[in-house]
Amino acid sequence: MFADRLIEKIQEKGTPCIVGLDPALKYIPLNFLQEQDISNNSSIQIKAEALYLYNLEVIDAVYDLVPAVKLQSAYYEIFGSYGIQALERTVFAAHQRGLLVLLDAKRGDIGSTSEAYAEAYLGGEANNHKIDGMTVVPYLGEDCLIPFFEAAIASAKGIFVCVKTSNPGAAIIQDQLVGSRHLYEIVADLILPWSDKNIGKYGYSSIGAVVGATFPEAAEILRKQLPNSIFLVPGLGVQSGNYTSVRACFNQNGLGAIISSSRAIMYPHIYQSSQLTGQKAIRNAAIEFIQNVQMAIA
């Protein structure tokens, strides 16, 4: 099952940190684009190819450091079918290098449509994504989640429900009080019974939650509410989440969460004022990220 594979990868690499692959042409170093003869006037097919090639640059720099990568689907969808091909080729390349692959697609709809989404991403004859887990949104209710839960369990893959996200604007919805409880706590109630029926040999479920690093008080509440769910934790780096705040996302055994960083690692020449570009700079940024998280949760 997914949770067991993820825990084993975390133990193998010695870190719960993962790297997001959010390739955007405007951030990719100019010298890299020039080497590939890519400009604003290039065709959509060539631009999509640049995403894939830069992803390879990142993957080859970090694959021995981290257990998984996370692809944000929107960056690929910009380029239509060529972008989807770049996504699928990236998934294949990551798997070749022993990484698990999460897709940050945030799908969620009424029951029958969720069934179709679940089949598209988690199973079915035409499923070419071959991902290991994905994110979903819960705000259409339980019937938008159950098809994903059922498909994930049947295919031994993972689901991360967006419970308490890292963006500041989410509070206007997720922090609303319903009686004495926040709405995000009620969403977590929908996860709990499915998490409980899908616990692996390490004590964790493949039915997890997205819990942002920017709200440690909420993370502490949710950690107690969902003790066996793995948390996918965004919000560090560019989103200004505090490293020490991620501690609340873990259980006492040091497991229970994976911490994601995307742009700060992919583009150190922008976000870390590095004089270096290329794989050495990317790798240095990943190592710094891993060390900071390790110190925070030690």
Active site (catalytic) residues? 106
Task: Please tell me the distance from the alpha carbon of residue 153 to that of residue 158, in angstroms, as a whole number.
Answer: 8
Which long-range contacts (C-beta less than 8 Å, at least 24 apart) are formed by 97-100?
A: 97/59, 97/60, 97/63, 98/63, 99/9, 99/59, 99/63, 99/66, 99/67, 99/68, 99/69, 100/5, 100/6, 100/9, 100/67, 100/68, 100/69, 100/132, 100/133
The amino acid present at 2, given as its one-letter code, is F
Residue 253: which residues within 8 A CB-CB, separation 6 or more? none
Q: How far apart are CA 148 and CA 118, in angstroms?
A: 5
Distance CA 22, CA 265 (A): 10
Q: Side chain identity at 295, as an amino acid letter?
A: M
